[in-house]
Structure 1
Amino acid sequence: MPPALKALLAQILGAAGALALARSGLLSGLWPLLAAQATLAAGTALLLRSARWWLPIHLGFLPLAVLAHGLTRHFGLHPGWYLAGFVLLLLVYWTSFRTQVPLYLSNRATAKAVLDLLPPTPARVLDIGAGTGSLLRPLAHARDDCRFTGIELAPAPWLLGRVLGARQPNIEWRRGDLFSLSWSEYDVVYAFLSPVPMPAVWAKARTEMKPGSLLISNSFAVPERTPEQVLEVQDRRATRLHAYRISEGDKTCQ
């Protein structure tokens, strides 16, 4: 079942459960009923095996909607502000509800660790789901002999990344889906996505990347695949970089 459909079903069942409690007389008052709906929706999401990050969304969705409605009436806020907020979030997160890949930004400690994994010779590096280019800019500054490409689908991060990296000639900035671009010409592909797309990422990597090239995944391992190296990054996230070397065997195991 698609994640968005799971979320809708959880909210509907949560509302139905809260309504049943109200009709039975077990609960009364607006906020107890909202708390019941939120709890039941989150519990339903757990039963449906939704990703953990859906839980705070279910817990806060209806209570925050009611609170926003109250604030609008009390302060006379124009509804257009909520539309503007929605549009802004849409531009930032775009199709995250479908891809289940939220916006993660790589920090400088991670960029330094990735720098140590790059080949000593000139190389072509691709960051899939590049966000605002927070990884590529320090890499491009440190390795002017390499060519770096970032691809990002969400409009707002893509635009910001394009502006911030405009003065670095060895960065190529593209807007598009990470799977739409061929990876065959790159020596290193870096991913900071989520657990959901990792099987598809590995399938594309072993199909298209050259033997000897490197796939680096920040935090999320490829299922049932042992990395060549796991690098511990000394940052607050306790980031782990999983490095997978593409071999001739990977090319034949289709």
Structure 2
Amino acid sequence: MRLPPALKALLAQLAGWAVAIGLLRAGLLPGQAWALVLAQAIAAVSAAVALRSAPWWRWIHAGFTPLAALALQLGLHPAWYLAAFALLALVYWSSFRTQVPLFLSNPATAAAVAQLVPPGHSARVLDLGSGTGALLRPLARLRPDCRLEGMESAPAPYLLSRLLSRRHPNIALARGDFWQIPWTDYDLIYAFLSPVPMPEVWRKACAELRPGALLVSNSFPVEGIEPDDIIHVADRRGTRLYCYHPAGPLPPDGRAVGSPVGLLP
């Protein structure tokens, strides 16, 4: 049975404390607090591995209890913890459920995406989880002829993207769940998510995109699917863009079904 990531995290932390307290009561740990904290962190990481949590969860388990113990030593007012929690919730929102952190695309990536749309073709582009609009703003400057749309669920990145994009008339932003909207009318879908949702992204793209429409995934390929092209972006992190035609290439007449323009051959 597949467990939700948040439930796995809770179980790993509880298992870590159970092991640490058990070792302490058995006399197998020194009486110092640091030994208890260290044992709990190691046991929590081991439990996360046993539960097959994503690798980045293991780093969280390794640092959670030690950082909490350190914070208690600082003697901060509880209001600071509440403020930090509220800020993180506004930024990351449902990341614990979707396992999609906040990734920001760089201008070099936007330039590479801009070249995927032939000059003079007014394509409609959707950025899945558009964050602060880091992709859409430079793309809007490079391709003012295209309609660029972004969907973001987290309140803070969405509000910031609205503020920063107000001078770009070809950008349209909405707050919500990109799974709940149809992708049928888009010529290019851009995703910078994580490996976890990519199988579902592929299924939805195959079901809804037109022939000739392009799915571009930054850094995370669709497992088991050979991309039609891989673009190597000349940036410091060595970004790779995995390009797919989920519904196949354009028909022989060179025009996407139901679209005034074709996107890619």
Equivalent in the alignment of 2:93: 94
Please report how far the alpha carbon of residue 204 of structure 1 lies from its aligned counterpart in structure 2 after TM superposition: 0.8
Contact 2:111–2:142 under 8 Å retained in 1: no
Letter in 2 for 1:26: L
Please report how far the alpha carbon of residue 247 of structure 1 lies from its aligned counterpart in structure 2 after TM superposition: 3.1
Between Structure 1 and Structure 2, the one with more helix by share is: 1
**Partners of 1:155 and 1:39 in 2: CA distance:** 35
Letter in 1 for 2:61: H
Equivalent in the alignment of 2:49: 46
Please report how far the alpha carbon of residue 92 of structure 1 lies from its aligned counterpart in structure 2 after TM superposition: 0.4
Letter in 2 for 1:22: L
Equivalent in the alignment of 2:146: 146
Q: Quick one: which of 27, 33, 58 aligns to 1:30?
A: 33
Q: Quick one: which of 12, 15, 18 aligns to 2:14?
A: 12
Q: Quick one: which of 59, 64, 72 aligns to 2:62?
A: 59
**Partners of 2:178 and 2:18 in 1: CA distance:** 39
**Partners of 1:248 and 1:100 in 2: CA distance:** 29
Please report how far the alpha carbon of residue 111 of structure 1 lies from its aligned counterpart in structure 2 after TM superposition: 1.0
RMSD between superposed Cα atoms in Å = 1.1
Task: Structure 2: state its 5+ residue gaps.
Answer: 250-265
Aligned ranges 1:113-128 → 2 under 5 Å: 113-120=112-119, 121-128=121-128
**Partners of 2:235 and 2:23 in 1: CA distance:** 47
Letter in 2 for 1:8: L
**Partners of 2:24 and 2:41 in 1: CA distance:** 14
Contact 2:209–2:247 under 8 Å retained in 1: no
Equivalent in the alignment of 1:203: 203
CA-to-partner distance for each residue in 1:154-175, whole Å, 9 max, x for gaps?
A: 0000000010001100000110
Equivalent in the alignment of 1:236: 236
Aligned ranges 1:121-200 → 2 under 5 Å: 121-200=121-200
Equivalent in the alignment of 2:260: none
Task: Structure 1: state its 5+ residue gaps.
Answer: 250-254
Equivalent in the alignment of 1:21: 23
Equivalent in the alignment of 2:217: 217
**Partners of 2:47 and 2:246 in 1: CA distance:** 41
Please report how far the alpha carbon of residue 183 of structure 1 lies from its aligned counterpart in structure 2 after TM superposition: 0.8
CA-to-partner distance for each residue in 1:201-229, whole Å, 9 max, x for gaps?
A: 01111111111010000011112211110
Give % identity: 60
**Partners of 1:115 and 1:248 in 2: CA distance:** 21
1:69 equivalent to 2:72? Answer: yes
Letter in 1 for 2:62: L
Contact 2:132–2:157 under 8 Å retained in 1: yes
Please report how far the alpha carbon of residue 246 of structure 1 lies from its aligned counterpart in structure 2 after TM superposition: 3.3
Q: TM-score when scaled to structure 1?
A: 0.94
CA-to-partner distance for each residue in 1:133-180, whole Å, 9 max, x for gaps?
A: 000000111111110000000000000001000110000011001111
Letter in 2 for 1:42: V
Aligned residue-pair number: 245
Please report how far the alpha carbon of residue 236 of structure 1 lies from its aligned counterpart in structure 2 after TM superposition: 2.2
